[in-house]
């Protein structure tokens, strides 16, 4: 039980650090804001690390590694050590590990609800496609891995309806999809460019939810 209390306390610290960063004045150096963000992500990683998961060792290990890769990729990109496409390559590995983690707790045939994900993914890609130009293949590959992780999170929720592991994991992946969609519309369609600033907070909440899914 003490680990649960520690996880709750760390969650408060992570969210508090993020809110504190959001309340900083516009003159705050970007490196200082990035420091607050990285602290928040690292605290979320600690939440996942401290979670007891004796019967879900692979699940926990895959989530921890995926989350760590995401933190490294985003951190190096924001410090201008990596171009954007390399940071997204890190995220592809993250979503691949998440998909493996979620699928380790499922079995059997796919749920018919997965067709909704297919329809939504197709509609979003159809909306973005005219503005993708030479990046259409790269975006399609990136979207495929997000779809696979989201699909497996949906399977987890459907096959374990009375456990919160699946629902929290699904909520995390939906937040990750929302973060990606907000970023993509700002970069390609430019429907609401100002919304891009919401992408990183949404991604942070996604990682927090997925970290808590390990509690099962």
Residue 65 is predicted with a pLDDT of 96
Look at residues 171, 198, 205 and name the one whose alpha carbon lies nearest to residue 183.
198
Look at residues 201, 185, 120 and name the one whose alpha carbon lies nearest to residue 154.
120
What is the distance between the alpha carbons of residues 152 and 105, in angstroms, rounded to a whole number? 9
Residues 6+ apart with CB under 8 A from 122: none
Residue 207 is predicted with a pLDDT of 96
What is the distance between the alpha carbons of residues 213 and 169, in angstroms, rounded to a whole number? 5
Per-residue tokens: 107: 């079995």
The torsion of the CA quartet 100, 164, 38, 83, rounded to 10 degrees, works out to 40
What is the distance between the alpha carbons of residues 13 and 37, in angstroms, rounded to a whole number? 12
Q: pLDDT under 50 in the chain at which residues?
A: none
Residue 150 is predicted with a pLDDT of 97
Give the rounded distance of the alpha carbon of 180 from its chain centre.
9
Look at residues 184, 178, 185 and name the one whose alpha carbon lies nearest to residue 201.
178
**Tens digit of pLDDT for each residue in 123-132?**
999 999 999 9
Residue 11 is predicted with a pLDDT of 92
Indicate the DSSP class of residue 27.
Answer: T
Indicate the DSSP class of residue 110.
Answer: P
The three-state DSSP-derived secondary structure of 144-183 is: HHHHHHHHHHHHHHHHCCCCHHHHHHHHHHHHHHHHHHHH
pTM: 0.92
Residue 74 is predicted with a pLDDT of 83
Residue 42 is predicted with a pLDDT of 92
Residue 216 is predicted with a pLDDT of 66
Residue 79 is predicted with a pLDDT of 64
Residue 81 is predicted with a pLDDT of 67
Residue 143 is predicted with a pLDDT of 95
Task: Count the Cβ atoms, other than its own, within 10 Å of residue 66.
Answer: 25
Residue 197 is predicted with a pLDDT of 85
**Tens digit of pLDDT for each residue in 121-158?**
999 999 999 999 899 999 999 999 999 999 999 999 99
How much of the chain, in percent, has pLDDT values that exceed 70? 97
Residue 44 is predicted with a pLDDT of 93
């Amino acid at each position: 039980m003490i680990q649960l209390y520690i996880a709750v306390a760390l969650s408060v610290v992570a969210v508090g650090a993020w809110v504190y960063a959001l309340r900083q004045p516009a003159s705050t150096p970007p490196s200082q804001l990035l420091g607050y963000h990285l602290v928040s992500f690292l605290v979320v990683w600690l939440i996942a690390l401290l979670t007891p998961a004796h019967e879900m060792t692979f699940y926990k290990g895959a989530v921890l590694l995926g989350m760590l890769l995401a933190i490294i990729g985003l951190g190096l990109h924001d410090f201008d050590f990596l171009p954007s496409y390399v940071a997204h390559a890190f995220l592809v590995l993250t979503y691949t590990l998440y998909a493996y983690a979620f699928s380790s707790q499922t079995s059997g045939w796919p749920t018919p609800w997965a067709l909704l994900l297919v329809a939504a993914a197709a509609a979003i890609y159809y909306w973005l496609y005219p503005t993708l130009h030479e990046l259409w293949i790269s975006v399609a590959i990136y979207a495929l891995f997000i779809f696979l992780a989201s699909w497996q999170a949906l399977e987890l929720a459907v096959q374990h309806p009375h456990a919160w592991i699946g629902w929290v994991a699904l909520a995390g992946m939906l937040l990750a999809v929302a973060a990606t969609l907000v970023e993509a519309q700002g970069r390609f369609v430019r429907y609401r460019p100002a919304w891009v600033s919401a992408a990183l907070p949404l991604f942070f909440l996604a990682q927090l939810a997925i970290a808590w899914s390990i509690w099962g």
